[in-house]
Structures are given as C-alpha cells and as structure tokens.
C-alpha cells in the first residue's frame, strides 16, 4: 500500500535558524497536504500542493512539491518559538481523498 516517509523525526534548532522537513511517497501522489499540530492540540491544515514542481509560500514557510509528485518539503526561514510543534505531510493517491500521513517531524525551538 501507499507509504509516506517523513524525515527527520525530530529537529531541535536555535531561534533564528532555518528548518526543513522532507516527505517522500512510495507512489505518485495526486496532491500533498501539510499540517501543524501543536503539543496537546489537533492537526491544523496549512496548505495543499497539487501541481508538479509547485512552490507555495506562506510568510516564512515555503512548501515544494517535486516534479515527479512523489516528494515534498516544508522549509521555515528564521524559526521562532511559535513554530514549535509537529509538522505532518499527508498525501492522497488517484481520485481518493483518503490521506496517508507521514510520521511527522517534531520541531523544538530554543529561544
């Protein structure tokens, strides 16, 4: 079945440093979504990428979808303490809306 791998599992950074999490699918995806889950909270939708090679930005966050639509990345520039949480990618295949989640990358930011 479809698998979505996400690395790294944990990332500790100093405030102001950059952060990147990577997602890799075993199959071609129709779209990929990114979520953020704060400690004790629920996943919050950040963005969806649909097109091959797509790049989207949200302030300090940059999301990329690979040309082959099998990998994606989330890059945060100049992290802040408010960025702490676990970032999940989730992909769907074909016409299905079922999401397969990566295991997440837990980000901690030292002030």
Partner 1 sequence: GAVVSQHPSRVICKSGTSVKIECRSLDFQATTMFWYRQFPKKSLMLMATSNEGSKATYEQGVEKDKFLINHASLTLSTLTVTSAHPEDSSFYICSARKRAYEQYFGPGTRLTVT
Per CB under 8 A, does 35 bind partner 1? yes
| Cβ at position 5, least distance to partner 1 in Å | 11
Q: Which of 38, 44, 78, 80 contacts partner 1 by CB under 8 A? A: 44
- Considering only residues 58 to 97 of the shown chain, the ones binding partner 1 according to CB under 8 A are 88, 90, 92, 97
Per CB under 8 A, does 100 bind partner 1? yes
Per CB under 8 A, does 42 bind partner 1? yes
| Cβ at position 79, least distance to partner 1 in Å | 21
Per CB under 8 A, does 27 bind partner 1? no
Per CB under 8 A, does 41 bind partner 1? yes
Q: Name the phi and psi angles at 83, rounded to 5.
A: -85, -5
Burial category of 96 from C-beta neighbours within 10 Å (exposed 0-12, middle 13-18, buried 19 and up): exposed
State the residues that interact with partner 1 by CB under 8 A.
Answer: 31, 33, 35, 41-45, 48, 50, 88, 90, 92, 97-104, 106
């Amino acid at each position: 079945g479809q698998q979505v791998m996400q690395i790294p599992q944990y990332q500790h950074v100093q405030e102001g440093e950059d952060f990147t999490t990577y997602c890799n699918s075993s199959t071609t995806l129709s779209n990929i979504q990114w979520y953020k889950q704060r400690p004790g909270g629920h996943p919050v939708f950040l963005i969806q990428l649909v097109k091959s090679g797509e790049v989207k930005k949200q302030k300090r966050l940059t999301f990329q979808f690979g040309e082959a639509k099998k990998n994606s990345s989330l890059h945060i520039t100049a992290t802040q303490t408010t960025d702490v949480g676990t970032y999940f990618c989730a992909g769907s295949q074909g016409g299905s809306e079922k999401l397969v989640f990566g295991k997440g990358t837990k980000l901690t930011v030292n002030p």
